[in-house]
Amino acid sequence: MAQPLLSVRDLRVEFAIGGGLFEAPKSLKAVDGISFDLMPGETLGVVGESGCGKSTLGRAVLRLIEPTGGKAVWLGKELGGLNDEAMRQVRRDMTIIFQDPLAALDPRMTVEQIIAEPLVTFRKDLGKEEVGRRVRQMMARVGLSPQHVNRYPHEFSGGQCQRIGIARAMILEPKLVVCDEPVSALDVSIQSQIINLLIDLQRELDLALIFISHNLAVVKHISHRIAVLYLGRLVELGDAAEVFNSPKHPYTRALISAVPMPDPELEERRQRIPLIGELPSPLNPPSGCSFRTRCPYVIPKCAEQRPEREFAFAGHEVACHRWPELEPFNPLEM
């Protein structure tokens, strides 16, 4: 059996908020004890509302944010135990694609300089001509004209800027790419092009992806497995088709029922599970189950005891006291 590329165990990220001369700072638990494995060539979709800790999780895995607890093991090496130089070498195999394509690119650099930067940093053995050749080759690979290497980011559209960011991320042929809502700032027609590009590159390079998004329709299309986060906690994890066709957690069901459908008749007949109230403050999360203040199935036990993740069936985990009692949820085919 293949070994995981990445193993995350009980990962935690806390931030100290506020405080002063007579007041202690409060602790904000952005990531609260998350565990999962990621296999080579696999895409793990991470979904949830804004403020659920998706982006913080992605950055903590790459150690762009230092975790305050737990561990991330990369090819048998615990990342938290690596010094700066060892971590720098590991970064050759892992990278990130950001949400805002234009803001992620340095406006003072040409496209060639932007895409070549990882090669200049990690492949000092390559000459200038070879770097230029690889940059042009990668530009063609992501659907950009190699003739535009001397242009600046402001001369490109949003979709083209995201392709530049993808080219920069892929130039070293990494093993892991964290995609932090890479299509949310783009038009719908451009979104599909970028998603298909990522799928094609994944097949060519055997990439593992952590794909962060609040758009479940996009996540279903690209992901092999899906992790559902709520207030920094992992409430459901499983095969993408199983999570969509047989969601167990009430929060997952509500998210899926909110995904719009293009067919007006199906949209009219579909089952709706509205979310009650607003997302609680992560500075003062509810006791027990963090979802209980918005859950239609809440019972006293939910306030008293935090539910642990357990197997609903092989490979499908859910953290809910009442999931075995809930009626099957069968959303219309998406």
- Residue 41 phi/psi, 5-degree rounding, is 75, 5
Instruction: Read off the pLDDT of residues 288-321 as tens digits, 9 standing for 90 and up.
Output: 999 999 998 999 999 999 999 998 888 899 999 9
Exposure of 58 in the CB half-sphere (CA atoms within 13 A): 27
- Residue 187 phi/psi, 5-degree rounding, is -65, 155
Instruction: DSSP letter for 255, please.
Output: H
**Largest Cα span, the chain:** 68
Instruction: Read off the pLDDT of residues 107-146 as tens digits, 9 standing for 90 and up.
Output: 999 999 999 999 999 988 899 999 999 999 999 999 999 9
In this prediction the pTM is 0.91
For residues 103 and 269, give the distance between their C-alpha atoms in angstroms, rounded to a whole number: 41
